Each structure stands twice: as structure tokens, then as C-alpha cells.
Chain A
Amino acid sequence: MNLALEYRRSAGRYFAARAISYTRTGGRLAGALASNMAPLRLVEQVDPVPGDESWTRIEPVLSGICGSDLGLLTGRSSPYLGPLTSMPFVLGHEVVGRTLDELPGLPRGSRVVIDPVLRCAARSLPACPACLEGDTCRCDRITTGGLAAGLQTGFCADTGGGWSRRMLAHASQLHPVPDPMPDEIAVLVEPLACAVHAVRRVPISPGASVLVVGAGTVGLLTLLALRKLTAAGEVHVIAKHRHQADRARELGATQVIGADGAVRAIRRSTGALLVEPELGEDYLLGGMDLAFECTGASGGLNTALRSLRAGGTVVASGMPAGGVDLTPLWFRELRLVGAYASAIGEEPGKGDFPEAIALATAAPLDGYVDMKYPLDQWRDAVDHAAAAGRLGTIKVVFAPGRG
């Protein structure tokens, strides 16, 4: 029998959580909310059965808790995504696991990471225009075909998710993990692939100044990707917590800025003019060339928009929540670019995942995963993940095989 954390439809809980988490104090109680109000339950299921020989059963070894998962559990994520999921589903899309079935070119028992996007290939459909271009994360067919609706593994009723002991994955989703790479780093490949994707979304000229808002998993991995894949000049990172700041410096941040007075600190290093409106936050005339928003909070995007020079670019890496004053976007003629998940790219072997695996092999990512929870302690795990920054943790993961 399979043990899984199942997310089920519960309008009451969803709206209650959403209502509370959008208040000021509710925001601070995100962890408590997530673990107590989330429509989540630990269930015993029959083991999933692979549809055909291109699918395999996976035994997740480690499975991360992502910011978007927390967003869902606290009701912060947008209802926009509702139709792109199919209830009930098992969460978990940052997965390192072992295959339990023989696949062409991939023997049973291989250690793999999963590209969670459930695109045309996994749905037994001919490739849509986006998939043809290699922009697999932009696949338009995510609600149809041979699978229930689901933008990713972890949001689809048919595939299961990482927060369980058994799940299914399509051959096209699998990327073998080099043997020397420990599980604790392999579980970071998926978010790192997203970071690589985000960095590849925009042209970054050599010497460009970049602001990374947020130094959680996404922020740090984006910084890593920036340093390894681009010739960006100064990279300034806004970090709320001390350990985040230390790691950001380790990854090559020019300057780490506290969350308070971030705009001021950016002003200091760019020599921009600071403008103080009577209402609302300060902003700059002049500033950074680029910003990566990696918090998924409206405050982060706000800071990014207010810290850019005219004509600058904001990349929204975190799943955005809440409204933002877009006046600077209009007035400063900024570019706002979304970056969702990862793509396989046009050239085989040059996709975001292979790049991420290559980066993860060499990068100093030890200690990013410092807490592994068995599934039955999911409430503690979710609490911990919601307060990870404060508790000195970068990534909280489940070890479903335990307990």
C-alpha cells in the first residue's frame, strides 16, 4: 500500500486560509495556518499502476517542500491555477527517487530527478507549438490528453506526487542523477533548473547590475545560476536572515542587503536619486539593470520595480501573490518577464535540467537540506518550511521512505 499526503477539495478551508493569510497578522501565522487549516491528509492508497511502458513507478527518496506548495496550503496561490489541477492530488514536484520499472535506456532502480512539467509528451499527444520549440514549460495541453488536468507532477490526480511512497513518472520527465551526487543535492536540481530557466529568460549583458530579491531556495539558486551562466557585474541580494546572507556571499553576491532599507542600499551603490513619495515606499530614479523577484510576495516585486533604472527588466521567478502598484512599470518603461518551471530547450542535452545537474555537481550546496521529515510528521514539516528562513533552513524535505 502506498502512503501519501493527499490534497483534496475543500472550499471552506481554502477560503478561510486565504482570508486569514491576506491579513497582516495572518501572514505571520502562515506556518500555523498551513499545518492546521490545509486541506491535506495522510492516506493509504493502492499503489499506482503505470499506464504503458513509457511510464515507471518511482520510489521518492527525498521530496522538497516548495514555496508554491506552501502558497497552496495557505491559500495564497491564485485561483487562476485551480483548473490546471485535478483533485485529489498528491503534492511534491521536487523529487529525487528510484525507478521501479525497466525503461528503454534506463534500468530499473536508477536514481533520477523529475522534470515535473506534464507536457504533450507525457500526455500521449502530438507536440504543441510550444513543445515543438522546446519551450516545454509553456505547453498548452496541460489539461487534456491521456492524463487528468495538471500543470505538473504534484498537481495531477493521475501521476501522484513526491509526498508519497509511490508515484508515476513518464520517461520524458526523467533525468538520471550522477552517482557521486548525494540525494540532498539532487533534490535541489528541480528548483535549480527553474533558476537556470529564469536566468535564461532574459539577455544579460556583461557587467549588468542585478538585484536578486529574496535569498530562499529560489533566490540563492538564481544567484548561483547568475554567477555560473552569465557575466553579470554586481549582483546585490536582499536577504532577510543572517544565514541567507552568509550563503549569498558564499555564492558570490557583491552586496547583501537587509530587507529594511533595501532601496536605500541599492541607491548607495548605484548613486541613483532617492525619491520619497508621501504615501508608499521610496523609489529610485536610476538603479539596477535587472531584478529577479524570488520571494513570490507582493513586497518583493514592489521593491524590484522601485529599484530598477528606466528600461530595466524584472523577472518574476517566485509565484506572484497579491497586487502590486505597476506605476513604475509604466513610468520607467520596465520589462516584466515571467519565469515558470524549466524547459528542455531546442538542443538535446542543453536543456535547463542537464544544465542544473551540471551546476549542482560543482556548486557549494551542502547543508541546504538540513531537515528531513517522514510523511506522518507532515504538520511539523510544513510548519518548519513556512518558517524556514527564520529557523536557519534553506530547504525542508520529506523522506517518504522513512517512518
Chain B
Amino acid sequence: MGRPGFVLDVDERTPPLLMHEGEGFRLERLPLGSRVIYPPESLPAIVDLEGAIRHALAHPHGSDPLSQLLRRGMRLTIVFDDLSLPLPPMRTPDVRQRVIEQVLEMAATAGVDDVELIAANSLHRRMTPAELKRTVGERVFRAFHPDHLRNHDAEDPGALAHLGTTPHGEDVEINRRAAESDLIVYVNITLTAMNGGSKSVSVGLASYNSLRHHHNVHTLRHSRSFNDPANSAMHHSYDRMADVIGGHVPVFTIETTLNNEPFPAALRFLTRREWEWNLTDQASYLAVKRSNDLATTKLRRRIWQATEAPYGITGVHAGAPSQVHPHTLAAVHRQQLTEVRGQADVAIFGLPYICPYNVNSIMNPILVMSLGLGYFFNLYRGQPIVRQGGVAIFYHSMPHEFHPVHHPSYIDFYELLTETTDPVMLETKYEKQFATDPWYIHLYRNSYAYHGVHPFYMWYWGAHALQHLDDVIFVGGDRSTTGRLGFRAASTLADALELARDTVGGDPQISYLHAPPMVLADVR
């Protein structure tokens, strides 16, 4: 198995195609001649994962083997990617657990006493103890929680260290404990090409003071796309910061890559090509679709959020971050890259129920925007899937729902949108206010809330798309929320295309990005 990704031209014999739409999915007939970008099929997973990790730690890229970096009396800080990776959360044991256990095994052998584990949650909400336990495993949790297994706190002035500025004048301020360690071991999961590399430490452990240099409208408008580090201004900034960090503390990173199996076997049809659906697939489509549609909102969300991905690991690479990352990127590209010829007038995206910021939570309208115009729109390399001045059509019902505990600042940010939806206006007028709002800071530090500035970042995430697109239409979108965000709602695809007619004419070239599973369009 493991056929490469390809671009389907919809012809008369193409059956209706699967489309994600929030906590649900549907079959949709696309107009003849539409192009559908399919991801490569899932690559085989590493069978002996323990062995692969051991091998990676013993034969790192650009570094001595980990065992030689560990010594008695040192300060060791193990940092790991937080709840936002992978999506959906992977079936336990999480690969981070497996890596951390081996690292700790080595540390124990070397006699290291001072070990801290820190979740690199940056301005994301803290992970709950249960979520931490799920990520690092029972054994690690019991040995380190709560004093030595913690969330990064970007608003604890005493726990941040300013390491200097980059040649571009960007502040580099990260977690003090990590900065003052003798070694940082970073345990990463790279789900998309934007993850990992320099981003890990320079973003995951940073403060608002540091993040504002790359998480802003200007940078994001010049990150084309942010899934292509070579052409991403944001990643260039990460690199500069990583250099400053590297001058203070050695970082040993372990990056893992995943295959394309985000859904359990019962939902296998979600990952199969529609014309290859057998009767079982069709029956489970019908059964799942019907029961999903009939379920109450609450139940539906519970079930989707309880979904665990049977991800397999396709690669484990360890060593110096800059040396490791090319290998990681290659593995990601092998699994996700599909070549597409030319741009379309209209791009269609089916947005799934989950994004990095609503794990065990609610996908609010702001997150829908960032998932669609941020993450999905930027799933390209080279040039965007849709041409400048084109139209993007998304599938999501965009209900007006917010998680009161996780997203308090989002609730207020949503109100700002009545005034303007322009990222620059929002940035200049309100970012500072939200970022320094003491209540949000309080909730970020003591409750489980995303930082006050986080909704702004979500909006900036879509800044490039907002600049690039002439019209954004949500099929099935709630009219009032869609309108609030500055987009249009349509009840069917036909209506959406009718709306798009003003912008792209009556016979547009349509491309549908068939994801998830993850696909990165290499648009030539």
C-alpha cells in the first residue's frame, strides 16, 4: 500500500466525494472538471518503535549520542510538545511518552538528579493533570508530577529569562528553567511541515514579549506559506531566535513524524478513496452519518473529542535541531506532499471537527476561521491552491459557541469583530490591550484559558488568506456568525458557487483539498 497522492479530475463516473464539516461530514457532488487533491496513502509505520528511538538517540545527527551528553550533577530539562499535537490526540502510549521514557532511562543510568519536564504550551492553555498523564504516561507522571512536570508559564515574570535579541532586534525570552539548564531535550511530534525545527523551543517556551516579533500580521502575510519553512518569514524569525537560544543552552531534539491514519478503523471510510468504498465502507458511512446527525450536539462533541488516532510513526530523528529538521521535513513531505499543476479560481475545503486549539474543547467561530483561512489555506508549497483574487469555499456550520473556560478572550474578541475584521486594525488597536489584560493573564496562569492575545494570533493566521482571497463562503455556515467574521454563508455548494460567480465567473476552475488526512499541495 501507500500509493502516492494525486489530483483527481471529477468526471461523470466520480461518485460523490466525502467532505468534512465540523462535527460531521457529508458526501458532495462536485461540478464536472473539478480537481480533487488527494493525500498520499498512509505509509507503513515503524514496527519496532522502541528500537527506532534507541537507534535515533544513539546515532544522532550533528550531535554526540544522548548518553554522552548526560552526566551526574547536571540540570536536565525535558520539554515536549503540548496538547495541540497531534490531531486528533494519538492512541496511547503516546510517542512522546515512549521517547521520554527512554531519555529518562538514560538519565537515570547517568545519575542525573535534577530533571524537569515542561510542556511547551507557550500561550496555549495549560494542560490538565489528566492530559499531562495521557501524554507522558503513568510512570513518568507519577515520578514527576506536580513539582517537576509542569506547564510552561509565559506570564510568570520570575520564570522567564531574556536571552538577548536577534540581529533583527527581536527579543528572545524563554522559560528560565530551560534557559538555565545544562541541556534541553525537546521531544517533538511533527504533524505538519510548520511544526518542529527552530519553532520547538523558540515558540513553545516563549513569552508574549518574544512571540509578538513573529506572530503578527506583517510576518504572517509574508509567510507563503507557513507550511513551507523556506518561504516563511515566521520560520526565518524562529531560526534567528533559535540561534540566540543555541548560544546559551545546548538543545538536543527528538523529532517524530506520523503517517496518515488519523481515524480509527470504524471510520476507515474517511481515509479511503470514495470509488474504492466497498459495501462495508458504505454501510459504515451511512450508519455513522445517520447516528451522528441524530445525536445531540453535546453527545456528538463528546464522541468526536473521544476519538483517538491510531497514528503510526514513520520516522524518529534526533540530534541538533538544525540537522534533524531536514530529515523530519523529508518524512513529512513523503507522507503529505501531492503535486498540483496550476492554481484554481475556487478552492474548496472541508473543515474537520478539530484544530490545535479545541482539543477537549469547543471549536468557536474564531478557531474555524483560523483552521480554514489559516491552516487549510496554507497547506501549500510554492503558490496557493487558489489564485490571487479567487474564492475559498469552506464547509463548516460555524455555530456561535465558545468554551467559557478555555476561550474567555475569544468571547470578547468576537465582539471586536463588529467593529472591524481587518487584522491590522485589530492588531494596532486591541492586541496590546488583550495581551496585557490582567484577567486573561490570571485565567491563563491559574485556570485553563488560552492567553488573552491568542485569538489575535488566530486571526493573523488568516491574514495572508484574507489578503489573497476576494471572497470567502461557508457552506452550511450560521449566517450571523459567518457575517460577523466578514464572510458569507451559503446553504449548498450550488449556492456558494452562485455567490462566487460575481468574483470568478460562471465556469471557474475548482480545486478541492481532500483533507484530512493531511495533504500538502505542492502547487507548481
Contacts and interface: CB of A to CB of B under 8 A. Distances in A.
A207 interface: no
B411 A274 contact: no
B438 A271 contact: yes
A268 interface: yes
Contact of A265 (B415, B433, B436, B439): B415
Contacts of A272: 439
Interface string B361-378: 000000000000000000
A273 B438 CA distance: 7
B284 to A, nearest CB: 41
B442 A273 contact: yes
Contacts of B412: 264-265, 267-268
B411 A271 contact: no
Contacts of B411: 261, 264
A271 B437 CA distance: 5
Interface centre among B411, B439, B442 (most CB of A within 10 A): B439
A213 B295 CA distance: 40
Contacts of B439: 267, 271-274
Interface in B384-426: 408, 411-412, 415
Contacts of B415: 261, 265, 268
Contacts of A265: 412, 415
Contacts of B442: 273
A261 B408 CA distance: 12
B382 to A, nearest CB: 41
A265 B412 CA distance: 7
A118 to B, nearest CB: 46
B343 to A, nearest CB: 40
A256 to B, nearest CB: 9
A274 to B, nearest CB: 6
A204 B403 CA distance: 38
Interface in A269-284: 271-274
A267 B437 CA distance: 9
A245 B427 CA distance: 25
A110 B221 CA distance: 68
Contacts of A273: 438-439, 442
A272 B433 CA distance: 12
Contacts of B437: 268, 271
Interface in A215-230: none
A241 to B, nearest CB: 15
A91 B303 CA distance: 61
Interface string A186-201: 0000000000000000
Contact of B433 (A261, A264, A271): A271
Interface in A127-167: none
A42 B408 CA distance: 55
Interface string B435-455: 011110010000000000000
B369 to A, nearest CB: 19
A41 B411 CA distance: 50
B479 to A, nearest CB: 16
A265 B437 CA distance: 13
Nearest to A257: B415
A273 B449 CA distance: 14
A43 B205 CA distance: 80
Contacts of A268: 412, 415, 437
Nearest to B405: A276
Interface string A265-305: 10110011110000000000000000000000000000000
Nearest to B408: A274
B251 to A, nearest CB: 36
A140 B503 CA distance: 72
A330 B68 CA distance: 66
B480 to A, nearest CB: 12
Nearest to B416: A268
Nearest to B409: A268
Nearest to B412: A268
A267 B413 CA distance: 12
Contacts of A267: 412, 439
A261 to B, nearest CB: 7
Nearest to A272: B439
A261 B437 CA distance: 18
A271 B442 CA distance: 11
B314 to A, nearest CB: 45
A272 B412 CA distance: 13
A264 B408 CA distance: 9
A102 B439 CA distance: 65
Nearest to A275: B439
A14 to B, nearest CB: 41
Nearest to B436: A271
A265 B415 CA distance: 8
Interface string A230-243: 00000000000000
A272 B437 CA distance: 8
Interface string B236-266: 0000000000000000000000000000000
Contacts of B436: 271
B484 to A, nearest CB: 12
Interface centre among B415, B436, B438 (most CB of A within 10 A): B415
Contacts of A271: 433, 436-439
A272 B442 CA distance: 11
Nearest to A271: B437
A33 B137 CA distance: 65
Nearest to A258: B415
A92 B437 CA distance: 49
A66 B438 CA distance: 42
Interface centre among B412, B436, B442 (most CB of A within 10 A): B412
A274 B438 CA distance: 10
A55 to B, nearest CB: 53
A155 B406 CA distance: 54
A14 B394 CA distance: 57
A272 B436 CA distance: 11
A264 B411 CA distance: 9
A271 B443 CA distance: 13
B407 to A, nearest CB: 12
Contacts of B433: 271
A264 B416 CA distance: 12
Given A264-B411, A265-B415, A272-B439, 14 more contacts: A261-B411, A261-B415, A264-B412, A265-B412, A268-B415, A268-B437, A271-B433, A271-B436, A271-B438, A271-B439, A273-B438, A273-B442, A274-B408, A274-B439
A-B pairs with lowest CB-CB distance, top 4: A268-B412, A273-B439, A271-B437, A274-B439
22 contacts: A261-B411, A261-B415, A264-B411, A264-B412, A265-B412, A265-B415, A267-B412, A267-B439, A268-B412, A268-B415, A268-B437, A271-B433, A271-B436, A271-B437, A271-B438, A271-B439, A272-B439, A273-B438, A273-B439, A273-B442, A274-B408, A274-B439
Interface of A: 261, 264-265, 267-268, 271-274
